[in-house]
Amino acid sequence: MIQPMRQPVSASHRARVLRALDVTPWVRRALPADHATMAEVADVAAGVACVVVLPEACSTRELDLLGRALSACGASLARAARVTVKGGQLAADVPEANAYLVFGEAQAHALGRSLPAAAVHRAQIVLADEPALVLTSAAAKRRLWSALRSLRRVLAAAGS
């Protein structure tokens, strides 16, 4: 059977149908050409926005969960520097940042020992449960989302 060709749908008809289906249409916006260079200059001038401090032995599932949670909270958290703690000491030098997201008390103690007092005083340090606990406990997931919300507020206020 030969089917007739479909006629193009008008924009108003499409909008009515989407509204009836309770669908919110998303429109991709194009960035200006000079936007990337402006963002790079702002990142260099502001320093590091956020640093995530993790325990040494995180499984792939734990890292995947944390990566997805950080990505869901925006670009500033998705691109946050990640530092691990090995044997009670930070594995690398920690850059001074506006905020620190620390997973576990042992990592918080290691961060406190390695940062200068002035940096600790200026920065917002948010403590979350260890990744293994976040993976298995609903209450730990709720606490992580609360920590991420407060961290997003701090970063938005700082303009990162």
Give the pLDDT of residue 46. 47
Cβ atoms of 48 and 92 closer than 8 Å: no
The mean pLDDT value of the chain amounts to: 82
- CATH code for the structural domain at 48-158: 3.40.470.10
Give CA–CA dist 89/81, Å, rounded. Answer: 17
Give CA–CA dist 139/114, Å, rounded. Answer: 30
Assign 47 a pLDDT band (cuts: 50, 70, 90): low
Cβ atoms of 103 and 54 closer than 8 Å: yes
Assign 33 a pLDDT band (cuts: 50, 70, 90): low
Give CA–CA dist 17/141, Å, rounded. Answer: 37
Query: Bridge-partner residues for 128, per DSSP?
Result: 103
**Each residue's pLDDT tens digit, 110-149:** 998 888 888 888 889 999 999 999 999 999 999 999 999 9
CA separation, residue 11 to residues 16, 18, 158 (Å): 9, 11, 40
